[in-house]
Amino acid sequence: MTSPLPSLPAASVLDLAPVVPVVVIEDAADAVPLARALVAGGLSAIEVTLRTPAALDAIRAVAAEVADAVVGAGTVLTPQQVTDSVAAGARFLVSPGWTDALLESMRASGVPFLPGVSTTSEVVALLERGVREMKFFPAQAAGGTAYLKCLAGPLPQARFCPTGGIGPHNAPEYLSLPNVGCVGGTWMLPADAVAARDWGRIETLAREAAGLRRSG
């Protein structure tokens, strides 16, 4: 068995940073320098999506070599992926949606998790199951800030990390909402910068993202 992971440096994944970078790693060798650039820019919570064969190796490398990073696994779809991600060193889990089987697996993993929702009924179903922190996805397509404002009245106990269609132009509006703890995005990871391994540019963009704060 693996030893328990260190506790998070905040009470919740939603409180680690205003922005969680959503990272797609094609080459595991890029994971550590990319994570170091994000951390240097002030973004310590890093979601590595399980969309590529390199993802688990990337999580393993960041967990082992970037002490200040809080690396998590995203696009978690199955109980097996939950097991594999935690074994690789993931300290939180994010899914685009949820089923009872996936939810129970994430709950049993012992690490924080954000199951995905896009409707009021899904939010109510999770609250019924004792889950109060969720991913709102796809945020813009599902109604954006207007939808989240409507949820805040009847369901104030639910908190969200909206992801999908969010960039520096609209992130502050999301972050100003009382039921939003952070947002997820990829804008600090432009494809050309990653391909060129321009870690300095990524650090600069990460620093700008980390500077986003609530406006109200």
Catalytic residues, which ones? Answer: 47, 135
* C-alpha of 94 from chain center: 6
Find the Cα–Cα–Cα–Cα dihedral 48, 54, 58, 60, rounded to 10°: 110
Helix axes 79-88, 100-108, angle to 10 degrees: 20
Give all strands (DSSP E) within 63-210, no chain letters.
70-74, 93-94, 113-114, 116-117, 133-136, 159-162, 183-185
| Residue where the block lists tokens 């205003």 | 18
Which candidate, 68, 151, 75, places its Cα nearest to that of 113? 75
Helix (H) or strand (E) holding 62: helix 55-65
Residues 23, 140: Cα–Cα separation, whole Å: 19
For residues 128 and 164, give the distance between their C-alpha atoms in angstroms, rounded to a whole number: 25
